[in-house]
Amino acid sequence: MPYRYDLVTGKNGFWENTDPVRLADQYGSPLYVYNERILRERCREMRDLVDYPNFHVNYSAKANTNLSLLRIIREEGLYVDAMSLGEIAIEEAAGFDAKHIFFISNNVSPEEMAEVIRKGIYVGVDSVSQLEMFGQLCPGGKVCVRLNTGVGAGHNAKVVTGGHETKFGIDPELYDEMRRVSDKYGLHLTGINQHIGSGFLTSEEFLEGTRRLLEVCMDYPELETIDLGGGFGIPYHKADGQDRLDLAPLGAELSKMFKEFAAAYGREVEIKIEPGRYIVAECCVLLGTVYDTKTVYENRFAGTDLGFNVLVRPVMYDAWHDVEIYRPNGEDTGKRQVVSVVGNICESGDTIAPKRELPEILKGDLIGVMDAGAYGYSMSSNYNSRLRPAEVLITTEGEVKLIRRRDRLEDLLAGFETC
Ligand SMILES: Cc1ncc(COP(=O)(O)O)c(C=O)c1O
């Protein structure tokens, strides 16, 4: 047996009929491994969140743009949002129609916005001046505005997207100016959206943000869509038994709010959410290999191929990912140690799991980084000219499919023009 079944991935059956050692042997390391069953479960949980007829889920593709995963997400009936023409191109390749893509713009160029408009994709703007740009490009058009009602929440200050300290959205002081610009170009304010931040595990802030936004929506008679953002957190500390966000009471409260709003507003406006992380984080384990173990003065290190070019979240947000250790011969040394799991990038901060108390790690072990599906591959890079990893999918039929090949050295040279 190459690994122990009392680990989180043993309990949730993540590996199905395969195992991490076989996968790393066959596809190399590091390797992003996805489980289709878990991905579909998360899509369905979001899709069934509320009891309101005109409710849709826009998957926020920035979390993970793998084409095969996007196709599964589309099959589950979700729509998508996009931040760039690049995301739109991948979403179109995954089969999403223009009418099921929502462009959430932030500081975009007129050329980019014009192209999105040309494609017939609904645009959300997040400042008065970008509304002006939209008006110039598409006078008389329908547009969504991103409001910042003052509520923010998130697992780290860098992912709080509502409130006073963020670059996002239009604050209440500017609502009159926004209407003036909208009237100047004969625009129809048919959508309102907000996003308060990412990674919350309690519902209070989301409910408060929703309540405030719905109050504001009463002042906009032409609404076709209200988009409430994403941000639903996932338990990154599963090994310690961290609770999940309790969706049932959240869904019940939202259903009640939506129905009351529809009654007061006089019609059932479409209401959307745009979760990213919740859909894709937990269906993925990132596998890496331990190539060195060492002690430097009083600190123990396990040196792996999991540099921050592969997964940047721990370095960027001090984010926690549970780690599991898989040993090809299955032997347990019975020892535990405090160890930092580090990568192979030439930076002191290149640490995936600092000072963890873990079973002893030996050279040749595999490390599994849990819940790595959101903002993992999509934030990976070629820093230190390292190759980005491959991605494989364990399908619901139990097959393993390569869904993105590992970078090749030629890829690093591909963009250079000769001089
Ligand atoms: C506008 C918007 N929508 C959706 C998301 C997705 O958030 P999450 O992945 O936390 O659900 C983000 C994240 O930054 C966002 O800014």
Mutate to test the pocket of ligand 1, among 80, 103, 126, 274 (most ligand atoms within 8 A of CB): 274
Q: Residue 241, Cβ neighbours under 10 Å: how many? A: 7
Copy the structure tokens of residue 34.
């996805």
Numbers of helices and strands, H then E, in the chain: 13, 17
CA of residue 332 to ligand 1 center, whole Å: 41
For the question of residue 346 being annotated catalytic, the response is yes
Region 73-97 average pLDDT: 98
How is the chain split among helix, strand and coil, in percent rounded to 5? 35, 25, 40
Give the containing element (helix H, strand E) for 253. Answer: helix 247-265
Nearest ligand 1 atom, CA 374:
9
Q: Residue 11, Cβ neighbours under 10 Å: how many? A: 10
Closest CA to 88 of 68, 108, 103, 67: 103
Name the phi and psi angles at 391, rounded to 5: -130, 135
Region 241-255 average pLDDT: 96
Catalytic residue from among 43, 217, 346, 419: 346
Closest-CA residue, ligand 1 atom 15, reads 195
Give the containing element (helix H, strand E) for 180. Answer: helix 175-184
Q: Kindly report, residue by residue over 40-62, the tens digit of the pLDDT.
A: 999 999 999 999 999 999 999 99
- What distance in Å separates the CA atoms of residue 105 and residue 130, rounded to the nearest whole number? 9
Domains in the chain, CATH or no CATH each? 8-34+282-413 (2.40.37.10), 49-275 (3.20.20.10)
In this prediction, residue 127 carries a pLDDT of 95
**Residue 37 in this model has a pLDDT that exceeds 60:** yes
Q: Kindly report, residue by residue over 102-161, the tens digit of the pLDDT.
A: 999 999 999 999 999 999 999 999 999 999 999 999 999 999 999 988 776 676 777 677
Copy the structure tokens of residue 256.
């009640």
Q: Residue 156, Cβ neighbours under 10 Å: how many? A: 14
